[in-house]
Amino acid sequence: MPTDTAIPAPARLLKITEVATEVGLTARSIRYYEEIGLLNPAARSEGAYRLYDADDVARLRFIRGLRDDAGFSLAEIGRLLEDEEARTRNRDRFQSTSDPDERRGIVTDALARIDGQVEILRAKEARLRAMIEEAESRRHHLEQHLADLDAGREPGHAPPGASST
């Protein structure tokens, strides 16, 4: 009979280059993000190796998305993400308590933060969409001008945006 059937499976911890390749960042960047307070690894090995859990990996993925896809600076990302101190505290608090009320509070807070993040991302999306629509309006304008030329007509003005792209 195995001695450890009751342990919930500690869910493998990754070393820094392992996470780096998995999320598409360099080890240097990840250490830098730690330096500026964007995330602390879940644990350190006996010999001080950084060890990351699945939650850390998700956070790093999110950071990368905010940087590459949303175009935020690391300073903005720091503001957007929860303060890392609080995250570490909450992780510990959540694990160490089984009081439902306390857990409820932690989860409720996390919900509020996500809502704020989604709102900011939506605003960004709206601005991007506005740019796209403007570009398409320029496109239609040019199409119109082309139709004029094809019809042999000659409007007296140069096409706005004809050379501004």
Q: 40 and 34 in contact (C-beta within 8 Å)?
A: yes
Alpha helices in 37-159 (DSSP H): 54-68, 74-80, 84-96, 100-150
15 vs 138, which CB is nearer to a second copy? 138
Cα-Cα-Cα-Cα dihedral sign, residues 18, 24, 25, 26: positive
- The CA dihedral of 54, 21, 36, 51, to the nearest 10 degrees, is 50
User: Residue 133 phi/psi, 5° resolution?
Assistant: -65, -35
45 vs 137, which CB is nearer to DNA? 45
Structure tokens at 98: 């089984």
- Is residue 130 a contact residue for a second copy (CB under 8 A)? yes
Structure tokens at 97: 């308590």
- Is residue 4 a contact residue for a second copy (CB under 8 A)? no
Q: Which does 146 bind (CB under 5 to 8 A by kind): DNA, a second copy, none?
A: a second copy
Query: Contact positions toward a second copy, by CB under 8 A?
Result: 8, 54-56, 58-59, 62, 65-66, 69-72, 81-82, 87, 90-91, 94-95, 98, 100, 103-104, 106-108, 110-111, 113-115, 117-118, 121-122, 124-125, 127-132, 134-136, 138-139, 142-143, 145-146, 149-150, 152, 154, 156-165
List residues binding DNA (CB under 7 A).
15-18, 26-29, 31-32, 36, 45-50, 67, 73-75
